[in-house]
Amino acid sequence: MFTRIRLPLALSSLLIVGLLIAACGAAPTAAPNSAAEAANAPAAADPRAGWPETFRLGLFGGDDAEEVLESNEPLRTYLEAQLGVPVEIFTGTSYTAVIEAMRADRVDAMQVGPFSYILAVQEAQAEAIVVGISTSAEPAVYDPNLQPYYYSAIFTRKGSGVETIEDLRGQDFSFVDPASTSGHLIPKTYLVGKGINPDEEMNTIFAGSHPTSVEAVANGKVAAGAATIATLYRMNREGQVQLCTFPDGGEPNMQRSEEVIRSTYEACPEGSLAVIALSDPIPNTPFAVRQELPDSFKQAVKQALLNIKDQPDLVTIYKRWFVDPTADSAINLDQLYNPLRDVATILDLDLKELAEQ
């Protein structure tokens, strides 16, 4: 005879559950441990960590701040779409004002002249990431042959009595503006290097702009002058002056040997403009950002700017693109501007005073 043993209902239920778990081979603590590990696992790094909520670009407003804003609107909208953050453009009444805005963290990036960039590195820890290239072609298209440099030319009107740099002593000469890199500072440094002190050995004026400096020479108001070689070529192309261009047919912003410059002068007819000296390459204006911005953001801005050349519609209306001429070299972009630092030393320039002009 068998005796039936009755277990309490709760205990029998626990035994059944235990047997089922054992039969399935499951560990009763697996789920709680997995949840704890997931909670303690490090979160994936945010690739946009530290990015500014609004990207602010500072530009020199010049005589027409509204025109500057309008001409850079295509860049603003493009960057906004590429970066995924609002982009705003601010204009300053001087290069110094733009630099001060970066120093005070009121702007994140700037495009100022080459000498002002040097001051911005010194005063606001600016960091150049690309260099701009502009085109005057109509319609504007990307041209890989254009280089991120330009040249200052010293030129005369054939028959003025000036044939060489040595002939400039005692002559009337037209610079562009005291603060102009290619219209004053670079050609002045060139002359000093040739042993001529323009302030003491020449009768100099400031014409105010590159075209007016060219016109002053073409109209016989001065014997010689300085301006960018690109200005001379453009005014010749538009029929404003007659210039003896270099015979190779290349772009105006290309270096030529002294022999080519001299032979072009000798073949030039009386009354036409002729170049008697070209400067070394002058690096174009850089696009610079605040150094302390996150590297991921700086790289995103740089890549967006480098990609402009592949946007034909944007190039057509913006007439500009950007390159990094040091991408395949051992130097960094800032070192391109060391020759201008040498100029500042030679001429004992006050960069702060210069940026105010």
Is residue 271 within 8 Å of residue 242, measured between CB atoms?
Answer: yes
* Number of domain units in the chain: 2
Residues 338 and 242 in one domain: no
Residues 308 and 260 in one domain: no
User: Could you report the per-residue pLDDT of 130-170, keeping only the tens digit for each?
Assistant: 999 998 788 999 999 888 999 999 999 999 999 999 999 99
Name the domain boundary from 282, 310, 333: 282
pLDDT band at 27 (very low <50, low <70, confident <90, very high): very low
The predicted pLDDT at position 111 comes to: 95
Residue 201 has pLDDT above 90, yes or no: yes
CA distance 250 to 160: 27
CA distance 225 to 154: 6
CA distance 94 to 81: 29
* Bigger pLDDT: 197 vs 7: 197
Report the percent of the chain where pLDDT is more than 90: 70
Q: What are phi and psi of 335, to 5 degrees?
A: -65, -20
Report if residue 9 sits inside a domain: no
CA distance 168 to 36: 84
Name the domain boundary from 248, 282, 316: 282
Residues 125 and 158 in one domain: no
pLDDT, mean of residues 293-308: 97
Is residue 55 within 8 Å of residue 85, measured between CB atoms?
Answer: yes
Residues 170 and 102 in one domain: no
Report if residue 30 sits inside a domain: no
User: Could you report the per-residue pLDDT of 225-282, keeping only the tens digit for each?
Assistant: 999 999 999 999 999 999 999 998 777 777 889 999 999 999 999 999 999 999 999 9
The predicted pLDDT at position 57 comes to: 98
Is residue 275 within 8 Å of residue 257, measured between CB atoms?
Answer: no
Give me the domain span that covers residue 68. Answer: 55-137+284-356
Residues 156 and 119 in one domain: no
**Local structure of 228: helix, strand or coil:** strand
Report if residue 100 sits inside a domain: yes
Residues 201 and 182 in one domain: yes
User: Could you report the per-residue pLDDT of 102-133, keeping only the tens digit for each?
Assistant: 999 999 999 988 988 999 999 999 999 999 99
Residue 2 has pLDDT above 50, yes or no: no
The predicted pLDDT at position 349 comes to: 84
Residues 154 and 274 in one domain: yes
Residue 6 has pLDDT above 60, yes or no: no
pLDDT band at 180 (very low <50, low <70, confident <90, very high): confident
**CATH number of the structural domain spanning residue 251:** 3.40.190.10
Residues 270 and 203 in one domain: yes
Report if residue 199 sits inside a domain: yes
Residue 15 has pLDDT above 70, yes or no: no
Token couple for 280: 């070394």
Report if residue 22 sits inside a domain: no
The predicted pLDDT at position 3 comes to: 35
Four-point Cα dihedral 150, 99, 73, 319, nearest 10: 0
For residue 54, which of 104, 89, 88 has the smallest C-alpha distance? 88
Tell me how far CA of residue 298 lies from CA of 81, 236, 286, in angstroms.
16, 41, 14
Residues 132 and 102 in one domain: yes
Is residue 250 within 8 Å of residue 278, measured between CB atoms?
Answer: no
The predicted pLDDT at position 39 comes to: 53
Average pLDDT value for the chain: 87
Report if residue 105 sits inside a domain: yes
Tell me how far CA of residue 181 lies from CA of 86, 188, 351, in angstroms.
33, 10, 12
The predicted pLDDT at position 44 comes to: 67
Residues 202 and 271 in one domain: yes
Residues 130 and 78 in one domain: yes
Beta bridge pairs of residue 150: 282
Report if residue 12 sits inside a domain: no
318-322's contacts with Cβ under 8 Å and 24+ in sequence apart are: 318/71, 318/74, 318/75, 318/78, 318/140, 319/134, 319/135, 319/136, 319/140, 320/75, 320/132, 320/133, 320/134, 320/135, 321/132, 321/133, 321/142, 322/130, 322/131, 322/132, 322/133, 322/287
Report if residue 8 sits inside a domain: no
**Local structure of 162: helix, strand or coil:** coil
Residues 132 and 230 in one domain: no
